[in-house]
């Protein structure tokens, strides 16, 4: 199921509110390869507006991945949250 126009607008607004350096992390070859793969998977051709939106999201995705990859972790680092799926239940 694809998102409605309102959902797409909300997703775009939430993406615009998060700042990411997208200038250096994504090579044009990586972006073009991912865009080609996406275009092959969908049943209809992208419009220029859609193509621009998808390309921007690909660049942002690559930049976010690079930022996560660059964050230093020590072997003993643990997540900040404590997830307990059985919290509140008897064990």
The 10s digit of each residue's pLDDT in 25-67 is 678 899 999 999 999 999 899 999 999 999 999 999 999 999 9
Mean pLDDT for the chain overall: 77
CA distances from 42 to 29, 39, 71 (A): 20, 6, 34
pTM of the predicted protein model: 0.56
Burial of 87 from C-beta contacts in 10 A (0-12 / 13-18 / 19+):
exposed
What pLDDT band is residue 9 in, cutting at 50, 70 and 90? low
pLDDT at 23 over 70: no
């Amino acid at each position: 199921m694809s998102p409605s126009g309102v959902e797409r607008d909300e997703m775009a607004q939430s993406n615009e509110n998060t700042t990411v350096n997208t200038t250096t992390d994504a090579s044009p070859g990586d972006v073009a390869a991912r865009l080609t793969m996406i275009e092959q998977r969908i049943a209809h051709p992208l419009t220029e507006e859609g193509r621009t939106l998808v390309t921007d999201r690909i660049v942002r995705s690559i930049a976010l991945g690079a930022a996560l990859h660059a964050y230093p972790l020590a072997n003993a680092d643990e997540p900040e949250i404590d997830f307990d799926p059985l919290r509140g239940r008897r064990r």
